[in-house]
Amino acid sequence: MPLFSDLHPLGQRIWLDNLTRGHIRDGRLAQLVAQGVTGITSNPTIFHKAVSETADYTAQLEQLRKSEADPERRYEALVSDDIRGACDLLKPVFINSGGDDGYVSWEVAPRFAHDENMTVAEAKRLHALIGRDNLLIKVPGTEAGRRAFERLTADGIRVNVTLLFSLHHVVRTFEAYIRGAQQWLEKGGNALQLKAVASLFLSRVDTLVDRRLDEIGTPQALALRGKTAVAVAKLAYQRYLDFFKGEEYFSHLRAHKVRPQYLLWASSGTKNPAYSDLLYVEPLIGSDTINTLPDKTLAALADHGEIGPTLHLGFPGAEDDLVQLEALGLSPTAIGEELQVEGVRLFTESYDKLIAAMQ
């Protein structure tokens, strides 16, 4: 039975994709950190579930209804306590890693996904509200979000770029980070203050692509089911190596000790029961990466996960899988755009439901 720390020598960190007050209060989060979990991500869907399905927030929410008129500020007051608590619990990881690890992510309201200026303003406001060095502000990888990310990096704000679904999204995000980091250095900023991750969503890719492949229905199409997301991830890692380990793009920044922008595997819980419950874990273990897992997938990894360096394997096969998709009329880039639009919509709906629950 592997510990999550068993992945550390392979260069991968495991984060929990579920921040709740219950996990903090009952000691589960502390236990997971002791086993090698080194970070936490969250999103509006996770918080809505925690608030609506548990009694952990009831008493504080009742008090906030009396003292705070704005439902959105009530939400922020509730959740900011959880964010600070998780940041404090992970602070030793942050310190011991020299700022490389031990982060908690909190998302800018998704209604600003296409508003660059508001994303920047809200990211800075939330950063100041929490007041913890090991906070990552989540911004979407939309065009406006990427521009905001570049500006935030140029101002020394640590960011998790979320809702990435394609190689195009990943490459544009890497480029924005490099531009922002260069601006930060030119301002005289401390290189070690910068930290960014690029969250590539996986299971949603296969869910959509598999549905399209089923509609095509040919043997060639059906043979590609369940392969697209892992292929995209492996090729994204190849792009990471090109950008951050090669000499063309990042060598100057690397010489000044700027950290690369790590890839983070998100949406890594398997949705199709016909597939391995570790489909988005076992083939994607490699250095300079993070995998953020929901509770069920985290438990599966601890129970029967096979640990080994796998991410660097199968680059040619991954490329061939995407070429075959293109030949069938399924563009991974177009699919990524469709999924990003849908992702923004779903997170906005969850956020709106969360704010409605604050009434």
E strand intervals along the chain: 12-16, 37-40, 104-107, 135-140, 159-164, 196-201, 262-266, 289-293
Given a contact cutoff of 8 angstroms between Cβ atoms, the answer to whether 76 and 84 are in contact is: no
> What residue has token string 């990524």?
336
| CA dihedral (101, 107, 112, 117) positive or negative | negative
Rounded distance between C-alpha atoms, residue 41 and residue 32, angstroms: 14
Per DSSP, the three-state class of 197 is strand
Exposure string of 196-215, with b = 16+ CB inside 10 Å and e = fewer, is bbbbbbbbbbbebbbebbee
What CA–CA distances, in Å, run from 52 to 31, 129, 245?
A: 25, 24, 45
Rounded distance between C-alpha atoms, residue 299 and residue 297, angstroms: 5
> What residue has token string 């029967």?
304
Q: What are the phi and psi torsion angles at 138 (to 5°)?
A: -90, 125
195 is catalytic: no
Concatenating the DSSP letter of every residue in 270-308 gives: ---TTS-TTTTTGGG--TTEEEEE-HHHHHHHHHHPPPS
Rounded distance between C-alpha atoms, residue 279 and residue 43, angstroms: 22
Please pick, among 91, 124, 138, 296, the residue that the annotation labels catalytic.
Answer: 138
Catalytic residues: 138
